[in-house]
């Protein structure tokens, strides 16, 4: 059976799966389990992505940044491959770690990485010995004994220890033990990861697809490949088509036929509701770009504009900046994609005020 959905039904499924409807959740770890991950991005124009995502769901009354630090510190949640995940989900990645950079036949880039690691076997063993005796350590505290430099046209060129640590993380040898400011602290994976038996690769991939669909509600069965976290869900869920949208989708059957009560929320630009820009455009008919890399004169909405969710629609953007030196959350503009009535304007302002409360900053709003 192929489920026939309207765009509105598809949007509501997506919003509900991402815990952006009513009532709000009230438990941080349960939120991460439902979302499956929090992307670690430390851009702090407003707040780091993980904090914004959690605040959008929980609100300032139920969430403070120290709560996430606590759960990472006691390893209820762990950071792996730049994502914060529930500790128990690591069993779904261990089998892939064991064969990384991948089963044969390898692609060209995989062969290059494999050969580079092999050439620097001595440095890799030095890192393991140093972490075993002195870990956790920041990358800058670990001597570089690589014999073959890492070559790249980007910022990672010659960043030998950092690149090796990242590859060793993918191999399951080292893990993030926490952070010291913005720096990751590294330790032996055996000290950080649980002893849960690795789930076989095919079974693990199947379970990850189902978890991903549960968190997204509705997604493509196949889309553009992403190395860390795919946007597609293979054969998870049940087939669906969406009125006015081309192609085939997969839907979480548990989301079908459920009531919907929306609310107003401000989102991180990296929020999973909008992270897949193609899906965002297809379902929400919403125009958005993250403009932090654009010249100021070419920005339409702002350096780190926050999408505004209202019910099952994305209706605008908030151009805001956390100015900690002045102690204010400065709002330069509230862009309305559709005209805001008094009720919606009041709800957006309430969310901005709650964001300022969460950041412990005074509010600097534009003249109305």
* For residues 33-47, average pLDDT: 96
For residue 197, pLDDT over 70 is answered with yes
Whether 185 contacts 137, CB under 8 Å: yes
pLDDT, tens digit (0-9, with 9 covering 90-100), for 279-326 = 999 999 999 999 999 999 999 999 999 999 999 999 999 999 999 999
Q: Is the pLDDT of residue 330 over 90?
A: yes
Instruction: Tell me how far apart the alpha carbons of residues 221 and 270 are, in angstroms, rounded to a whole number.
Output: 21
Helix, strand or coil for residue 140? helix
Residue 342 has what pLDDT? 97
pLDDT category at 264 given cuts 50, 70, 90 is very high
Triad 96, 100, 101: Cα angle to 5°? 135
Separation of CA 183 from chain center = 18
The three-class DSSP label of residue 355 is helix
What pLDDT score was predicted for residue 259? 97
The answer to whether the beta carbons of residues 109 and 198 sit under 8 Å apart is no
Name residues whose C-beta falls within 8 Å of residue 224's C-beta, 6 or more positions apart in sequence. 231, 278
**For 339-366, how does the pLDDT look when each residue is reduced to its tens digit (9 = 90+)?**
999 999 999 999 999 999 999 999 998 7
- CB of 361 within 8 A of CB of 328? yes
Over residues 219-250, the pLDDT tens digits come to 999 988 776 789 999 999 999 999 999 999 99
**Weakest mean pLDDT among 1-5, 72-76, 199-203, 240-244:** 72-76
Query: In the 8-state DSSP scheme, what is residue 150?
Result: -
Q: What is the pLDDT of residues 115-144, one digit of tens each?
A: 999 999 999 999 999 999 999 999 999 999
Report the distance separating Cα 271 and Cα 227, nearest Å: 18
Q: Average model confidence (pLDDT) for the chain?
A: 95
pLDDT band at 367 (very low <50, low <70, confident <90, very high): low
Residues 6+ away with beta carbon under 8 Å from 68: 28, 38, 50, 51, 54, 77, 84
Whole-model pTM: value is 0.95
Checking if the pLDDT of 5 tops 60, the result is: yes
C-alpha distance from residue 174 to each of 145, 268, 294 (Å): 17, 30, 36
CB 216 within 8 A of CB 14: yes
Task: Give percent of the chain above pLDDT 90.
Answer: 91
Q: What pLDDT is stored for residue 156 in this prediction?
A: 81
> Is the distance from CB of 60 to CB of 357 less than 8 angstroms?
yes
Q: What is the pLDDT of residue 154?
A: 78
Long-range contacts of 340-348 (CB under 8 A, 24+ apart): 340/315, 340/316, 344/264, 344/310, 344/315, 347/263, 347/264, 347/310, 348/264, 348/266, 348/308, 348/310, 348/316, 348/318
**Averaged pLDDT for residues 253-268:** 98
Q: What is the pLDDT of residues 147-192, one digit of tens each?
A: 999 988 778 887 999 999 999 999 999 999 998 888 999 999 999 9
């Amino acid at each position: 059976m192929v489920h026939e959905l309207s765009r509105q039904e598809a949007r509501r499924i997506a919003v509900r799966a991402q815990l952006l409807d009513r009532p709000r959740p009230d438990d941080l770890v349960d939120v991460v389990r439902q979302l499956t991950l929090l992307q670690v991005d430390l851009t702090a124009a407003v707040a780091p992505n993980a904090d914004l995502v959690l605040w959008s769901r929980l609100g300032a009354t139920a969430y403070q940044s120290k709560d996430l630090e606590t759960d990472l510190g006691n390893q209820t949640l762990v950071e792996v491959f730049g994502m914060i995940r529930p500790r128990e989900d690591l069993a779904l990645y261990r089998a892939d770690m064991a064969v990384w950079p991948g089963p044969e036949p390898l692609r060209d880039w995989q062969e290059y990485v494999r050969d580079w690691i092999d050439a620097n076997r001595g440095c890799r063993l030095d890192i393991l010995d140093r972490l075993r005796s002195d870990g956790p350590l920041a990358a800058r505290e670990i001597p570089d004994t690589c014999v073959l430099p890492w070559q790249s046209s980007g910022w990672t060129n010659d960043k030998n220890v950092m690149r090796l640590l990242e590859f060793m993380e993918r191999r399951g040898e080292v893990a993030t033990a926490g952070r010291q400011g913005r720096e990751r602290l590294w330790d032996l994976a055996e000290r950080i990861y649980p002893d849960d038996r690795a789930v076989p690769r095919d079974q693990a991939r199947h379970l990850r697809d189902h978890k991903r669909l549960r968190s997204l509600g509705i997604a493509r069965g196949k889309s553009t490949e992403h190395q860390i976290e795919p946007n597609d869900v293979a054969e998870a869920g049940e087939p669906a088509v969406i009125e006015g949208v081309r192609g085939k989708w997969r839907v979480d059957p548990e989301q079908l036929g459920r009531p919907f009560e929306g609310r107003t929320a401000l989102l991180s630009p990296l929020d999973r509701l909008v992270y897949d820009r193609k899906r965002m455009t297809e379902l929400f008919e919403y125009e958005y770009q993250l403009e932090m890399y654009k010249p100021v004169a070419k920005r339409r909405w702002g350096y780190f504009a926050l999408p505004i969710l209202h019910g099952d629609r994305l209706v605008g953007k908030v151009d805001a900046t956390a100015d900690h030196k002045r102690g204010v959350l400065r709002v330069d503009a509230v862009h309305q994609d559709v005209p805001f009535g008094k009720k919606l304007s009041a709800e957006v302002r309430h969310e901005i005020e709650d964001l300022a409360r969460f950041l412990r900053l005074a509010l600097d709003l534009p003249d109305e």
